[in-house]
Amino acid sequence: MKYRILPLIIAAIIFASCENLNDEMFPDNELPLVIEGWIEEGQPPVIMVTRAVNLTDTLLSFDDCVEKWCRVSIFDNGQQHILSGRVDKNYLPSFIFTSNKIKGAVGHVYDLLVETEDTIARATATMLPAPQITSLRPKKLENSDSLYSITAFIEGLNSNCYYKFFEQQHSKETHFYPSFMGTFTSDEYNSHSGFNITKGTRISTDYDTPNFSHYFNANDVVTVKIFSLEQPIYDFWKTYDQQITLTNNLFFTFSENCPGNISGALGYWAAYGASRASIRLPR
Amino acid sequence: MIRQKLFILISFIFGWTTLNAVQPNPYTQQADTTLLLNDISVTTQVRRPTFIVNTNGTIELSSQFTADNPTFMNSADPVAIIRTLPSVSTCSDLQAAFSVMGSTTGSNLFLADGMRIINPFHMLGFFSAFNPSYYKTLTFNASRINVLSANTTAGRLEAISSANNFDKPHGEISLGAIESHTAISIPIKPIKSIASVGFRKSYLHLLFPSILQFGRTNLKYGFSDLNIGLTTRFTPNNSLSFNFLAGKDHMKFQDLNSMRDDGAFGWENLSVGASWKNGKTILNAAYSGFFNRFKLSEANQKINLPSKLSQISLSYIRPIKTFTIEADAAYRYSSGQQNIENTTNNSTDNRAKKSFEFNAALLWNKTFVDKLGIELGARVSYYHQNEYNIIVPQLRLHTHYNITDNISFFAAYGRYVRFDRLVEETTGGLPANFWTCADKTLPPETSDAFNVGINIFIPDIAIHVSVEGYYKIIKNSGEFNGSILNTLSADYNALSDVILGDGYAGGITFLLTRNFGKIRGRLSYTFGVSKLKFAELGKQYVSAAGERPHDLNLTLTYQATEALNFSAAFTYASGLPYTRAKYGYMIGENLICEYYPHNSSRLPAYKRLDISATYTFPTNNSRNHSIGISVYNALATNNILFYYTTYSFNEGIKQRKSVMKSVIPSINYTFKF
């Protein structure tokens, strides 16, 4: 008899401990607003407004996630500009808000206001001066005849400042994309070895196929831009770089949220000081 | 009442004519006649216990025991058996981890013949550094570690080679499908010594190249271990031993996309020790080293993270009546970690740390009226690292009370500390993890542990039952909260992303064992929780990385005939905590995820059935051959390693899971002499 109490104790523990860790703490409600927006020095703003997808749902799709019926305003040093929405197939999603009446200028403060039926999102960004790209040099990939990365040399970096490279491979791309692990601080830049630029990953490339390469092809024309960033945008892109690189990796799991700078929405609003340079890679 | 036939054959070696000449009753010998009895050997047909649970909580396993139990690829790896015991969390596939009562891997102490083995796991967790042919006995304590032991805040595991057959050469060779091992001992009679050597090697990818393919990633892996020992027995109670262990792991990490660069990892263990035993007095001296190699590159972004921990230690134990005194000292050198691809001198000297630790302990052990046993110990540790100095007293009280001959109750309290810290930047124990010395910013980990329990032996059916409740208060548990990619920056120091948390671990363990008869086995169950609170992660407690609330292991062996046995081992354990993605959204044409709080979700339960059969060929001498077959994960359960989400034009958003390839058969041949 004295041995029979043990199974009862065990059964009580088992039945008492069944719980789902998530249900009570995180009830599902409306999907968060997502804003990807920037204004670049000398260029009009580009803002894309979408909704996130709940990954706990059974059917997952980005169809119908674009928010077309919202009011997007930018305040340039206090002056309001209401942006108009239009289709631009160079971007994904292809519906953007923009305006030709406003162009980015260094030193200006740009406030973003996005108003939907049920959400108001706000953010502020200041455009900082960008360093200058003094030269671009091709660097051939070892054991390859036709693949290159690009080494950029920069001057005019300010201490304790933040930067990011974007690239456009003209034979394949219609606009600029973040380069692979291209977010850095001025302290991390080595003026002797420069900064190595390769292509980042994105769904519009062959990333998930054996044909994907981070490298540029011989004879390609590549334009490189360097943007100056405020620290919140640096934090966003730094986490972004790590998430897209490690998220599928069994041994180096990374599950940190991208720290956006928008109140009321996910994503970012950035004002980029910019400079650019182009190179044609050797045949 | 089980009837046991006990045949005792007593043979006298070095017989004497005096005994033959006098009357056969030795008890009537005259006092001035001396009988010299040099040696006695006792043989029996009763199975020697190969799995012993002592009243002080120490579990002893023999190599025969591990050979009888199903293990991965019939490797008889002893740590695989230890992982099926209560208090030790089930290890997921590809995880070189060892969690005892909710602790982290780096909180445990591993020893071999008195030498510390800093990392006893080969990569991917399939095998340990303990060659089962070379090490005859394993002792394991999940709790109630007395003050005479080197510092640890979790479990203590020691492998002992036990060279004690000075008569003739003996050994074992085991050949398997992905791993083989051997050990041979040769007596050197002129100097009353035994020389032993052991070797082990794996070749995982030769016959099973697809085992280690996960999505776009392919791994090529192998390891080798070498053991050498020399024991000289001056008298039966006075011996001197020298021991050597060296092991090396190497792995290549290749993306199946041929344009992506490879990674190359590896680590090496090196331990050298000497041990002098005079009765129960023991003097040990040892050097232990662990060296990591970690190289990874993609798109000209390169990471090269070598690191090492070296330790020189000296210990002395001496019993004096009911007391035992112990003193030990250890000097450690930790290289730290830095990406040497971006440094000018290719070294990590500016991250190195040196530390010194001295411990003194006093243990008092007394049994009253053959019923109440008390073990009271005090251990004082002094630790120095650069300008950081600390003294940590550790009091431990272990009691047991024999209610009857077959039932005993125990209760214990102990304070524990450890001064070296493992920084785990990866899941699965890859060589990007590194050891460092505790200091002001990363203080020593401490725990206060309370244990109560009962041991019951039911002689009618030869079943032993052990139930234990435990509760630990943990301080300064460390967790890495950064990213391996941060090491691309030359100035980055991973220690800046180690967050410290306090918490607790508690639970109840249950162990039922039967080691005799045709049907043998054990049932082990643990219910345990392990929670930590980190200031950086909010005010709530989060699940510790190794927490499994339910952990069940059932192993059965059926001795069909003298030569043939069948075994099965079933494991069921709660899934490990993980951080689940809640929302997905597009930024820069990539899928970005927004996550639930840290470790707030749990993977599906882990389930696995292993089966094996071993046939030992009949023989008339001390040599025997056996052949074994085994099937790992016989039910083909897809145990999920982790979840991730992808997005592409063709497939849209997909929730994916990473699993190890399922059923793995194996065959092995063993020759013992």
Q: Is B491 close to A187, i.e. CB distance below 8 A?
A: yes
**In this model, does residue B186 exceed pLDDT 60?**
yes
Over chain B, what is the mean pLDDT? 86
Chain A contact probe: residue of B260, B481, B590, B654 with most A CBs at under 10 A: B590
Q: Say if residues B19 and B26 touch (Cβ distance below 8 Å).
A: yes
Q: Is A248 close to B644, i.e. CB distance below 8 A?
A: yes
Identify which has the larger pLDDT, A57 or A48: A48
* Residues composing chain A: 283
Whole-structure pTM value: 0.85
B344 lies within 8 A of chain A by CB: no
Q: Is A21 close to B601, i.e. CB distance below 8 A?
A: yes
Q: Which alpha helices (H) appear in B34-180, and where do they start and end?
A: 63-68, 78-82
What residues of chain B lie within 8 A of the CB of A240, using their CB?
587-588, 590, 592
B257 lies within 8 A of chain A by CB: yes
Region B443-453: mean pLDDT is: 97
Beta bridge partners of B477: B501
Q: Is B485 close to A242, i.e. CB distance below 8 A?
A: yes
Of the pLDDT bands very low, low, confident and very high (cuts 50, 70, 90), residue B18 is very low
Q: Is B593 close to A243, i.e. CB distance below 8 A?
A: yes
- This complex has an ipTM of 0.89
B536 lies within 8 A of chain A by CB: no
What residues of chain A lie within 8 A of the CB of B301, using their CB?
180-181, 196, 198
Identify which has the larger pLDDT, A177 or B257: A177
Closest CB to A245 among B485, B508, B550: B485
What residues of chain B lie within 8 A of the CB of A257, using their CB?
594-595
Closest CB to B588 among A31, A198, A202: A202
Q: Among the listed ranges A139-148, A257-266, B436-445, which one has the minimum average pLDDT value?
A: A139-148
**How far is B603 from B104, CA to CA, in rounded Å?**
18
**How far is B289 from A197, CA to CA, in rounded Å?**
39
B648 lies within 8 A of chain A by CB: yes
Tell me the C-alpha to C-alpha distance, in Å, between residue B538 and each of A23, B541, B559, B583.
19, 8, 55, 20
Residues 608-647 in B contacting A (C-alpha not used; CB under 8 Å): 641-642, 644-647
Return the residue of B nearest to A254 by Cα: B483
Q: Tell me: the pLDDT tens digits for B79-118?
A: 888 988 999 998 887 778 889 998 988 999 999 999 999 9
Q: Is B94 close to A240, i.e. CB distance below 8 A?
A: no
Chain B contact probe: residue of A174, A251, A252, A266 with most B CBs at under 10 A: A251
Return the residue of A nearest to B577 by Cα: A21
**How far is B368 from B371, CA to CA, in rounded Å?**
6
Q: Tell me: the pLDDT tens digits for A26-36?
A: 345 678 999 99
Q: Is A202 close to B428, i.e. CB distance below 8 A?
A: no
**How far is B250 from A181, CA to CA, in rounded Å?**
28
Q: Residue type at A268?
A: Y
Residue A138 pLDDT: 94
Burial state string for B135-149 with b = 16 or more CB within 10 A and e = fewer than 16: bbbbbbbbbbbbbbb
- The whole-angstrom distance between B445's CA and the closest CA on chain A is 25
Residue B37 pLDDT: 64
**How far is A64 from B129, CA to CA, in rounded Å?**
55
**How far is B315 from B284, CA to CA, in rounded Å?**
5
Q: Is A215 close to B646, i.e. CB distance below 8 A?
A: no
Q: Is A25 close to B600, i.e. CB distance below 8 A?
A: yes
Q: Tell me: the pLDDT tens digits for B233-242?
A: 998 889 999 9
Q: Is B550 close to A253, i.e. CB distance below 8 A?
A: no
**How far is B82 from B93, CA to CA, in rounded Å?**
16
First to last CA, chain A: 87
Q: Tell me: the pLDDT tens digits for A34-43?
A: 999 999 999 9
Q: Tell me: the pLDDT tens digits for A80-117?
A: 999 999 999 888 889 999 999 999 999 999 999 999 98
Q: Tell me: the pLDDT tens digits for B608-664?
A: 999 999 999 988 777 889 999 999 899 999 898 888 888 888 888 888 888 876 688
**How far is B549 from B577, CA to CA, in rounded Å?**
10
Residue B2: count other Cβ atoms within 10 Å of its Cβ: 9
Return the residue of A nearest to B602 by Cα: A21
Return the residue of A nearest to B640 by Cα: A250
Neighbouring residues of B256: CB distance < 8 A, sequence distance ≥ 6: A210, B213, B216, B217, B218
Q: Is B586 close to A50, i.e. CB distance below 8 A?
A: yes
What residues of chain B lie within 8 A of the CB of A36, using their CB?
586-588
Q: Which two tokens stand for residue B257?
A: 């996309």
Q: Which two tokens stand for residue B322?
A: 């009911």
